[in-house]
């Protein structure tokens, strides 16, 4: 019996790459990109992953700034948080954006433990992705998703190979949340714990670094020039509710407010009073009035 060949085709028949970078979230994460959110503990890695998840599931801007270019269902698994805590975080982000969690196209895996270095769990995750066809899969954190040695290139490459196969088969973006070491490195990606294969794996990567009382977000893309690093912050309303991540330098700016306001108006299906808009967006009357006037002048609303 002869040996089967690998599949092959002439170069002219290979799929064409669309011109320019295709984005899942503009400038933040590539469409169908795999990669990592990395950083030391307490740097808001999980908050960023959930912010991306809510954004893609609701077609609202990530961190109030970055437009979603390809919205759809999202699947998340947060291995270190109880299910109630995960829901609380999602509801907090929804509250800030004026979203109804009941209308959110976001799903959470409710298993206690997943080990993606085991064939059985790989098969179950693939079956779940096949059913939901998510635009984005968030797995948090990597260290809780396998029982191998994260310093072993052999162990890690097998796990990453499975995730790459999942991405290519179902055209889904995958975000792995991963810890960084405490040692200083010239490039944030070099500080990721474990095998260097992790850094090389990412089509898009996001690194959160704490510098004094600041949190700096640094982006990497395989096929596009990244934005310069910028500060982000985790903030809440005065009563501690509506906790969310946003750009520190643009808090409550008109540009961010308009990015939040327009989706709210479009999705409402009916006229909204200024009072109801203020309550949903948690914004003062003067700021809202200025933004409404600006949008009306630009013809964005009537």
Clarify whether residues 54 and 156 are in a common domain. yes
Predicted confidence at residue 300, as pLDDT, reads: 78
Clarify whether residues 70 and 172 are in a common domain. yes
Range of the domain at 37: 19-249
Q: Say if 66 falls within a structural domain.
A: yes
Clarify whether residues 273 and 216 are in a common domain. no
Predicted confidence at residue 80, as pLDDT, reads: 94
Clarify whether residues 65 and 45 are in a common domain. yes
Q: Say if 12 falls within a structural domain.
A: no
Predicted confidence at residue 279, as pLDDT, reads: 80
Q: Say if 1 falls within a structural domain.
A: no
Predicted confidence at residue 68, as pLDDT, reads: 97
* Cis peptide preceding 126, ω within 30 of 0: no
Clarify whether residues 173 and 73 are in a common domain. yes
Clarify whether residues 105 and 37 are in a common domain. yes
Predicted confidence at residue 262, as pLDDT, reads: 84
Q: Per-10-residue mean pLDDT for the chain, 302 residues long?
A: 89 82 94 96 96 98 96 98 97 96 98 97 98 98 94 93 98 96 68 86 96 91 93 92 86 61 82 85 75 80 76
Clarify whether residues 189 and 297 are in a common domain. no
Clarify whether residues 237 and 271 are in a common domain. no
Predicted confidence at residue 252, as pLDDT, reads: 41
Q: Say if 5 falls within a structural domain.
A: no
Report d(CA 102, CA 99) in Å as an integer: 9
Clarify whether residues 162 and 295 are in a common domain. no
Q: How would you classify the pairing of strands 214-221 and 173-179?
A: unpaired
Q: What is the pTM of this model?
A: 0.79
Clarify whether residues 174 and 194 are in a common domain. yes
Q: Say if 8 falls within a structural domain.
A: no
Q: How many domains does the chain have?
A: 2
C-beta neighbour count of 231 within 10 angstroms = 13
Q: Say if 10 falls within a structural domain.
A: no
| CATH number of 152's domain | 3.40.50.300
* Alpha helices per DSSP H over the chain: 45-58, 83-97, 119-132, 153-170, 197-201, 254-268, 274-281, 285-297
| Cβ neighbours for 5, distance < 8 A, ≥ 6 positions apart | none
Clarify whether residues 182 and 280 are in a common domain. no
Predicted confidence at residue 250, as pLDDT, reads: 47
Clarify whether residues 116 and 231 are in a common domain. yes
């Amino acid at each position: 019996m002869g040996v089967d060949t690998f599949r092959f085709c002439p170069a002219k028949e290979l799929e064409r790459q669309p011109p320019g970078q295709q984005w899942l979230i503009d400038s933040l994460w590539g469409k169908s990109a795999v990669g990592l959110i990395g950083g030391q503990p307490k740097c808001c890695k999980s908050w960023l992953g959930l912010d991306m998840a809510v954004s893609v599931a609701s077609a609202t801007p990530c961190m109030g700034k970055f437009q979603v270019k390809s919205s759809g269902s999202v699947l998340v698994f947060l291995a270190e948080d109880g299910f109630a805590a995960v829901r609380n975080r999602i509801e907090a982000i929804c509250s800030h954006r004026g979203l109804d969690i009941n209308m959110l196209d976001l799903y959470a895996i409710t298993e206690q433990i997943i080990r993606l270095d085991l064939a059985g769990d790989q098969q179950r995750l693939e079956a779940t992705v096949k059913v939901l066809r998510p635009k984005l899969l968030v797995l948090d954190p990597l260290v809780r998703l396998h029982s191998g040695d994260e310093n072993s290139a052999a162990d890690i490459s097998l796990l990453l190979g499975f995730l790459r196969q999942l991405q290519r088969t179902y055209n889904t973006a995958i975000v792995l949340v991963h810890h960084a070491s405490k040692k200083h490195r010239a490039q944030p990606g070099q500080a990721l714990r474990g095998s260097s294969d992790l850094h090389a794996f990412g089509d898009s990567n996001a690194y959160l670094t704490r510098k004094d009382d600041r949190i700096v977000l640094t982006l990497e893309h395989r096929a596009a020039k990244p934005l310069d690093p910028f500060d982000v912050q985790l903030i809440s309303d005065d009563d501690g509710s509506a906790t969310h991540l946003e750009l520190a330098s643009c808090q409550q700016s008109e540009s961010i407010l308009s990015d939040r306001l327009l989706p709210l108006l479009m999705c409402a299906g009916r006229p909204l009073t200024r009072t109801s808009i203020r309550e949903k967006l948690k914004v003062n009357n003067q700021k809202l009035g200025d933004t409404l006037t600006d949008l009306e002048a630009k013809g964005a609303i009537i």
